[in-house]
């Protein structure tokens, strides 16, 4: 399936930002391919629940990532709905 995180592998800000290149940034989910990698399950609702749960506990992303033993980048992906198939080891 097409990567829901980007446009053809590039990410653009919702609001134009001076520190953001006009050509966009390479998507950190599909790494620029524009196709959602096979090893991801896209579960936006679960990601949303995860994020809301963390925020309700007033925990920072990196602290929560440390607590569950993943890197912050990984948790950020999960909160946007990208879960690796076969668990998050």
Which residues here bind Zn ion, judged by CB under 5 A?
Answer: 3, 5-6, 27, 29-30
Which lies closer to Zn ion via its Cβ, residue 33 or residue 59?
Answer: 33
Burial class (CB in 10 A: 0-12, 13-18, 19+), 23: exposed
Minimum distance between the CB of residue 1 and Zn ion, rounded to whole angstroms? 11
Q: How far is the CB of 77 from Zn ion (least distance, A)?
A: 11
Six-digit token string for 49: 């629940």
Closest CA to 84 of 31, 43, 27: 43
User: What residues are paired with 11 via a beta bridge?
Assistant: 25
Q: How far is the CB of 57 from Zn ion (least distance, A)?
A: 29
* SS3 of residue 79 by DSSP: helix
- The residue (of 66 and 74) whose beta carbon lies closer to Zn ion is 74
Q: Which is nearer to Zn ion, 3 or 50 (CB)?
A: 3
């Amino acid at each position: 399936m097409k990567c829901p995180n980007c446009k053809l592998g590039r990410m653009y800000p919702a609001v134009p930002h001076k520190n953001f290149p006009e050509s966009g940034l390479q998507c950190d989910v599909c790494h620029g391919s524009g196709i959602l990698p096979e090893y991801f399950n896209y579960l936006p609702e679960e990601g949303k629940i995860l994020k809301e749960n963390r925020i309700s506990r007033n925990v920072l992303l990196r602290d929560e990532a440390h607590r569950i033993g993943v890197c912050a980048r990984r948790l950020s992906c999960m909160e946007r709905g990208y879960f690796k198939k076969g668990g998050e080891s």
